[in-house]
A and B are shown apart, each in its own frame.
Chain A
Amino acid sequence: MDEIAVLIGGKAGEGINIAGSVVVRLIAGCGLRAAMYYDYPSLIKGGHNFAVIRGAVKQPYCHREGLDLVLALDQETVRRHQGRLRAGGGVIYDTGRVRGVEGTGLPLDEIVKEEGAPAVTRNMGLIGAFCKTCAIPWETVETVLRRAVPKAVEANLQVAKRGYEAAEMGRPLPTPTAGGAVLPALTGNEAVALGLVEAGLEGYIAYPMTPSSSILHFLAARQEEFGTSVVHPENEISVMLMALGAAYAGRRVAVGTSGGGFCLMTEGFSLAGMAELPVVVVLAQRPGPSTGVPTYSGQGDLLFALSAGQGEFPRPVAAPATLEEAWYWTGALLDLAWRFQTPAVLLTDKNLGEGMYTFHGAPRRPPLPSVRWDGDGDYRRYAPGPDGVSPLADPGTTGVIVKVNSYTHDERGITVEDQATVARMAKKRKEKEKAMAEVLMGYPSVVTTGDPAAKTALLCWGSTAGVCTEAARDLGLRVVRPVVLSPFPTEQFSAALKGAGQVIAVEENLDGQLARLVRAEGHRVDAMVGKYDGRPFFIEDLERRLKEVGA
């Protein structure tokens, strides 16, 4: 086997997310690549939480139905997931709370008591036993736990050691490729945050909303060292307007939310389009409509992002599939928003944002500086410039008056209603969109994976790329995925789809929103495989569905 799948489950409040991330880092610490899916309902204590970690020689970006090890803090975990065990799989469990199971049992309450450790360290007992089962050397366990455990490190280590000593060696981890480096492990939201910081973010403004909140928490905790100020205002309306005020005053700012929050932001989003103010919106999707299923994932907001806000204005929209793309495109969108003075949207989702993955480093972006005023003559905020882009000066600059306006305005920023100016300024905004599309030709705006010559092409976007790519590998298909969804990368997309006889859209929504967009661009889409239960596709599941539609 060149992969391992581990599930750890228990109640909310028992440290399942932390335990999952520790397993990711243990697997990564052995030179393997890993992906974690974290499943939790919208409650704080109780319920059933679980994390699935897939470790492999090559980077995984999705999960299978089959599991090799189930780590159970409670009976519910066994009840729900034992049936997913593959041949040779096993259960590691708390003997105090799980009955009627074969496997490695640990009296976790007693262990924790004997070690004088907090009850929440029970998860470390299971992790210790997992490490021994998988023949992870104790030195690696200790190194990783010292880095990965947020507090009470010694107590956690003692409990892990007890679990380690109690278990038998059973199923070693896959052997990593020779020279495989130990990669850092991040969540998608952390990759977004770090990508923003690396690209020069000076302010992050957000109101908490799952699944975007961990960007807010991550940046708030590190605002001093990053030099990125963080504000949490009264609501998303204020978030967007504060961001536009800060952008007007010369700062590079971003905001983050989910669908419901973005609804409130659309008023300011449209203002950004008219006033030509840059801002990056991280829109982390969850299933809607309305409050929907807050802690689960979906791809139902593509058409919303593409059309949010009244009126017509340019907006780059990009949907990354991996940590590396998330990091790269947050930076690219900051660059694009500031170069073209318009709002931008990074479309992510819960599975990418709250999932954890080993990180391979993001490629460098092409340089794209903003257009600054050269100080010559009278300053006019909306003066004609290259590609419809007016040179920027910040308010406070000596001898300069900077007027921005939500009304249609003239070059100075003063309200006008005459036909000629109304039409001229509308065209100015359109010109920026055309120029943006040309600039994006130099970016990896469309990604092709699988067999590029295959007659059947899967069409997908965002975090479903991983499962589509693995299914395509098994079934001999091509995968065509636009990362940039606005302005639509027509040429790159047509080239990627060339020669495809059958096109099947795979999306985590009901209608096939990318399919609809692609059809509007004049392409054919023959079938749609949708998923709209909040959970990601398993590989087996997707392959079955693809065969049903004749792939």
Chain B
Amino acid sequence: MTWITDAQNTWCPGCGNFAVQHALKDVFSGLVADEGRRPEEFVLVSGIGCHAKIADYLAVNSFYAIHGRTLPVATGIKLANPDLTAVACAGDGDAYAEGLGHLVFAAKRNTDITAIVHDNRVYGLTTGQYTPTSYTGFKGRSTPAGVKERPFNPVELALASGATFVARAYTRRLDHLREVLRRAILHQGFSFVEVLQICATYNNLTGTYHDQVYELEGHDTADLTAALARAREWDYSDDAPIALGVFYESERDHETWPAMGRVPDHRRQEVIRGVLEERR
């Protein structure tokens, strides 16, 4: 089984997307090997931006969608066929700008899908503008004087919105990234994984992340208050420690559609005749 297509990869050398692509490939093949999953059950949904090319590069079912809209697509897929495993890869522009409302509602709805945000904190494919998670003062091509706004804190946002699995990872901690993604996909309900990654061309924060990241230890993932406190340690602008790992995990009900074809045609005709009869 090959997990990579023969499409020519056009990411810049050093791009964080390579790590996400290979981690996901390893997680999918691992789930096939140890959990008896079928390769055909995975569906990758991507948005628009550099990250989204992952849909061309991974040899799995994919829905290469439009900017900001990965989560409603993934939700539709999962509702319609609960046997599929829907993983939505979005960029920070996708998830936090164009599609922010969908993120909040996906967390509220708790449909069993996994959202992975490739957060390089800059627009890559449109050549270097600020995003909702760019640090205050970031000088992008649309904000040459530096951004005055405060960045979103996506981890805090996901927790506040009711996501039942919330994690953060970093592309240069590959083993940890794999482990987090695997847990996210196995989680029943809406999983949110914020992946910090550098943009080698427009926002290379390797030094910042090298100095600031640490992996959570002894943190109670059932404690929402503790999760929020950890999430607030770093505000996406300052030089505080950046926690990586699972912040929060819980269970909550969610809807799926009943199996297809559960009402046979002849039965539907009877029901329709019944409705018409009532209306005489």
Contact = CB atoms under 8 A, between A and B. Distances in A.
A527 interface: no
B80 A250 contact: yes
A205 B53 CA distance: 29
B183 to A, nearest CB: 23
A290 interface: no
Interface string B23-52: 000000000000000101101010010000
A448 to B, nearest CB: 29
Given A245-B77, A249-B84, A402 B61 contact: yes
A233 B265 contact: no
B272 A245 contact: no
A197 B272 contact: yes
A99 interface: no
Contacts of B62: 401-405, 413
A271 B101 contact: no
Given A238-B102, A396-B41, A401-B40, A248 B63 contact: yes
B269 interface: yes
Interface stretch (A129-137, A178-186, A463-471, A473-481): A178-186
A68 interface: no
A246 B279 contact: no
Contact of B64 (A202, A235, A403): A403
Given A203-B80, A398-B38, A415-B56, A271 B72 contact: no
Interface in A233-256: 233-235, 237-251, 253
A147 interface: yes
A242 B267 CA distance: 27
A406 B94 CA distance: 15
Interface string B261-275: 011010111011001
A506 B65 CA distance: 41
B7 A182 contact: no
A387 interface: no
Interface in A163-201: 182-186, 194, 197-198, 200
A227 interface: yes
A240 B73 CA distance: 9
A399 interface: yes
Contact of B55 (A222, A234, A250, A403): A403
B49 to A, nearest CB: 12
Contacts of A245: 45, 63, 72-80
A28 interface: yes
A198 B38 CA distance: 34
A267 interface: yes
Contact of A401 (B61, B74, B278): B61
A405 B55 contact: yes
B211 interface: no
B72 A233 contact: yes
A412 B258 CA distance: 30
A396 B76 CA distance: 15
Interface string A257-273: 00000000001100100
A101 interface: no
B69 interface: yes
Contact of B272 (A198, A242, A395): A198
B46 to A, nearest CB: 10
A240 B257 CA distance: 17
A79 B96 CA distance: 56
Contact of A227 (B63, B73, B263): B263
B217 interface: no
Nearest to B256: A229
A539 B57 CA distance: 63
B83 interface: yes
Contact of A251 (B73, B80, B102): B80
B258 A182 contact: no
Task: Give the most central of A275, A409, A414: most B CB within 10 Å.
Answer: A414
B39 to A, nearest CB: 8
Given A238-B72, A242-B72, A400 B276 contact: no
B79 A242 contact: yes
Contacts of B260: 202, 250-251
Contacts of B38: 398
24 contacts: A197-B268, A197-B272, A198-B269, A200-B265, A202-B260, A225-B263, A226-B268, A234-B101, A235-B101, A241-B73, A242-B79, A245-B74, A245-B78, A245-B79, A251-B80, A359-B276, A395-B61, A395-B77, A401-B62, A402-B62, A406-B48, A406-B64, A406-B66, A414-B5
User: Nearest 6 CB-CB pairs, A to B?
Assistant: A245-B76, A227-B263, A242-B76, A241-B72, A184-B279, A246-B80
Interface of A: 25, 28-29, 147, 182-186, 194, 197-198, 200, 202-203, 205, 222, 225-227, 229, 231, 233-235, 237-251, 253, 267-268, 271, 275, 359, 394-407, 409, 412-415
Interface of B: 5, 7, 38, 40-41, 43, 45, 48, 53, 55-56, 59-66, 69, 72-81, 83-84, 101-102, 105, 257-258, 260, 262-263, 265, 267-269, 271-272, 275-280
Given A183-B280, A229-B79, A242-B72, 12 more contacts: A182-B280, A203-B257, A234-B101, A241-B69, A250-B81, A395-B61, A396-B83, A399-B40, A403-B61, A405-B56, A407-B64, A412-B5
